[in-house]
């Protein structure tokens, strides 16, 4: 772990007066004097390709902050951006994001929608169209009242996961089951998000092989994410010429995702029109009932949620179990907190009260996302000029808050290498430090759903099992549009009596 000595050097060589601590902005300096990582954008792109693709992006950014300080510019292929890592710079970006915050676009995704004549959901929309859809969806998806409706559904799936695991663990030699949990976690998150979105179960936790359609969907989401990354730095027309197989693979993956979502939507819509009860409780039925969005927009967004709800949630769960597996003290403390919350005189409280009574568990999820943020950056094009560190950045410049680098910086988190959920519960200022879901009006709309799903999953695991990590070595992570382990860790489960 490191400080940013390079950054301090860059500042002092730029004339920070004696006695002013490094990192404190003084006079505002022009954009051009922001330290630059590599001068030639195409050479930079070539270097990235040559160094084994894009999967070390988070490590390269981390290295660049170490060399250049807490703000630097970078140009890779068609993309140029300013990268920052300090919470106060993230706060500046929030202030400058304006009423229609904009992230970096994903041209390949938009190109797919255009080619297939499909409307865009929130992720790809911008301007007033984004805002109108977002306001209509916030109430059902992000508000505490909206989220509360999903809790029993998510709890039922988490309970089933534990019930399916128990006999496998009990019957394993010595009562200890060692496995790579990540395929099961995918099934869990797909089952849970499908239930929350469509109000119907897929039956993926029964122990048998996942059905062909579910398997195809999971594979398509993985392919879509993997092929997105190289597509980010080249415009689709160029890519279609340079690498047609990658492009067709990407299109095919999206088509499968759309087909899966479309089949589910059709099923629920038919039931809904017949006044059936099967769809009760799912988000789709709520949106149809609410009638605030046109059917096309509902379909576009529910499809996006379907694609966005599986890997994003499965990965932090895997990393959390690994960290609990190699930090038995933290695992014990979480189990004690759970027992205390459930053991009141009235028995287990309602789900929303139970989750509010588990601050350490919530902090554990935050701590996981600090070390292993799903997305390694949050991006904004500021609507007005903004001062980042002490540099003036013109409106419209792509700016990225580097979450992975922030989470591992000793200048932001004392002892960043420690998995220490309690750090979120003390008196230290934590503002703009937990940004894994982004910030402001454009933050992740699935945030509450994902948090509830992760918390309830962990509640059932802690209630039923102890977890150990087979190796306590750090996991090597790779960035494949979301951050994942290069090799999933092996975990050993034992049942708790
Ligand atoms: C642990 C799980 C998840 C993480 C860490 C995560 C992270 C993020 C981040 C960083 C953003 C960009 C926010 C910004 O620009 O400020 C985002 C946007 C988004 N996420 Fe998530 N996400 C997760 C789960 C989900 C789930 C389960 C869904 C679907 C139900 C979802 C749907 C979306 C959508 C639709 C957007 C675009 C929102 C907009 O532009 O208005 N996410 N997410």
Supply the DSSP string of 376-411, one letter for each residue: SEEEE--SS-EEETTEEE-TT--EEEEHHHHHT-TT
C-alpha dihedral (223, 224, 225, 226), degrees to nearest 10:
40
450 touches ligand 1 (CB under 6 Å): yes
Ligand 1 atom with least separation from CA of 374: 5
Backbone angles phi, psi at 467, to 5 degrees: -125, 135
305 touches ligand 1 (CB under 6 Å): yes
Domain spanning 114-495: which CATH class is it, in words? mainly alpha
Closest CA to 485 of 256, 325, 250, 255: 325
Element (H, E) at 365: helix 359-371
Distance 200 CA to ligand 1 centre (A): 22
Ligand 1 atom with least separation from CA of 101: 15
Distance 169 CA to ligand 1 centre (A): 34
Ligand 1 pocket test, candidate residues 96, 308, 362, most atoms within 8 A of CB? 308
449 touches ligand 1 (CB under 6 Å): yes
380 touches ligand 1 (CB under 6 Å): no
- Chain centroid offset of residue 422 CA: 22
* DSSP helix/strand/coil, 469: strand
282 touches ligand 1 (CB under 6 Å): no
388 touches ligand 1 (CB under 6 Å): no
Do 57 and 376 contact (CB within 8 A), yes or no? yes
Backbone angles phi, psi at 386, to 5 degrees: -140, 145
Q: Alpha-carbon distance 29 to 308, whole Å?
A: 39
- For the chain, the structural domain boundaries read 114-495
Do 424 and 434 contact (CB within 8 A), yes or no? yes
Distance 105 CA to ligand 1 centre (A): 14
Do 455 and 357 contact (CB within 8 A), yes or no? no
10 Å Cβ neighbour count for 47? 13
Distance 23 CA to ligand 1 centre (A): 31
Q: Over its length of 497 residues, how does the chain's per-residue pLDDT go in tens digits?
A: 344 433 333 333 333 334 444 444 568 999 999 998 877 767 776 766 665 567 888 998 999 999 999 999 998 776 779 999 999 999 999 999 999 999 998 888 999 999 999 999 999 999 999 999 999 999 999 999 988 999 999 999 999 999 999 999 999 999 999 999 999 999 999 999 989 998 888 888 875 555 678 888 888 888 998 888 877 777 777 777 777 888 899 999 999 999 988 888 888 878 878 776 544 568 988 898 888 899 889 989 999 998 888 899 999 999 999 999 999 999 999 999 999 999 877 778 999 999 999 999 999 999 999 999 999 999 999 999 999 999 999 999 999 999 999 999 999 999 999 999 999 998 888 899 999 999 999 999 999 999 999 999 999 999 999 999 999 999 999 998 899 999 999 999 999 97
101 touches ligand 1 (CB under 6 Å): no
Ligand 1 pocket test, candidate residues 119, 264, 446, 452, most atoms within 8 A of CB? 446
Helix locations, 116-243, DSSP H: 127-141, 144-171, 182-198, 212-231, 236-242
Ligand 1 pocket test, candidate residues 131, 437, 451, most atoms within 8 A of CB? 437
**Does pTM surpass 0.85?**
yes
Q: Alpha-carbon distance 154 to 438, whole Å?
A: 23
Ligand 1 pocket test, candidate residues 100, 376, 444, 482, most atoms within 8 A of CB? 444
97 touches ligand 1 (CB under 6 Å): no
Query: Which residues neighbour 3 within 8 Å (Cβ) at sequence distance 6 or greater?
Result: 409, 410, 411
Distance 452 CA to ligand 1 centre (A): 14
Distance 442 CA to ligand 1 centre (A): 9
Distance 443 CA to ligand 1 centre (A): 7
Distances (CA, A) of 464 to 170, 171, 314: 11, 15, 19
User: What is the reported pLDDT for 16?
Assistant: 39
408 touches ligand 1 (CB under 6 Å): no
Distance 54 CA to ligand 1 centre (A): 21
Ligand 1 atom with least separation from CA of 454: 1
User: What is the reported pLDDT for 273?
Assistant: 80
435 touches ligand 1 (CB under 6 Å): no
Ligand 1 atom 6 nearest Cα: 437
User: What is the reported pLDDT for 209?
Assistant: 54
């Amino acid at each position: 772990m490191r400080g940013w000595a390079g950054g301090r050097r860059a500042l002092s060589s730029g004339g920070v007066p004696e006695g002013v601590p490094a990192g404190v902005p003084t006079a505002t300096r022009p954009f051009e004097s922001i330290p630059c990582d590599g001068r030639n954008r195409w050479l930079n792109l070539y270097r990235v390709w040559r160094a084994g693709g894009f999967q070390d992006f988070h490590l390269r950014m981390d290295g660049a902050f170490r060399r250049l300080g807490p703000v630097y510019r970078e140009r890779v292929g068609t993309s140029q951006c300013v990268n920052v890592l300090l919470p106060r710079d993230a706060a500046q970006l929030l202030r400058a994001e304006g009423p229609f915050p904009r992230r970096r676009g994903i041209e390949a995704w938009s190109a797919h929608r255009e080619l297939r004549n499909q409307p865009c959901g929130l992720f790809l929309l911008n301007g007033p169209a984004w805002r109108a859809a977002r306001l209509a969806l916030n109430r059902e998806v992000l508000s505490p009242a909206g989220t509360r409706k999903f809790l029993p559904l998510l709890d039922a799936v988490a309970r089933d996961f534990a019930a399916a695991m128990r006999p496998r663990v009990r019957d394993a030699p010595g009562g200890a089951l060692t496995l790579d949990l990540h395929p099961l976690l995918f099934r869990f998150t797909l089952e849970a998000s499908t239930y929350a979105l469509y109000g119907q179960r897929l039956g993926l936790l029964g122990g048998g092989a996942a059905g062909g359609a579910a398997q195809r969907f999971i594979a398509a989401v993985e392919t879509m994410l993997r092929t997105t990354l190289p597509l980010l730095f080249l415009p689709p027309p160029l890519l279609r010429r340079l690498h047609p197989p990658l492009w067709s693979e990407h299109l095919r993956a999206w088509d499968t995702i759309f087909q899966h979502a479309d089949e589910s939507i059709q099923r629920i819509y038919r039931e809904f029109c017949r006044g059936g009860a099967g769809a009760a409780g799912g988000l789709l039925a709520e949106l149809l009932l609410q009638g605030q969005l046109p059917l096309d927009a509902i379909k576009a967004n529910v499809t996006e949620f379907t694609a966005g709800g599986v890997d994003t949630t499965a990965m932090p769960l895997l990393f959390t179990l690994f960290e609990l597996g190699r930090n038995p003290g933290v695992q014990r403390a979480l189990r004690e907190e759970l027992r205390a919350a459930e053991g009141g005189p009235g028995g287990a409280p309602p789900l929303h009260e139970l989750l509010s009574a588990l601050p350490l568990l919530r902090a554990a999820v935050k701590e996981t996302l600090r070390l292993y943020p799903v997305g390694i950056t949050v991006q904004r094009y500021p609507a007005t000029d903004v001062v980042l560190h002490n540099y003036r950045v013109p409106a419209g410049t792509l700016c990225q808050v580097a979450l992975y680098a922030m989470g591992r910086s000793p200048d932001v988190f004392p002892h960043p290498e420690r998995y220490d959920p309690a750090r979120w519960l003390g008196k230290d200022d934590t503002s703009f430090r937990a940004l894994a879901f982004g910030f402001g009006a454009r933050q992740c709309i699935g945030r509450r759903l994902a948090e509830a799903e992760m918390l309830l999953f962990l509640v059932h695991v802690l209630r039923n099992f102890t977890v150990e990590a087979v190796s306590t070595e750090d996991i090597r992570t790779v960035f494949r549009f979301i951050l994942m382990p290069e090799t999933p860790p092996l975990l050993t489960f034992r049942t708790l009596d």
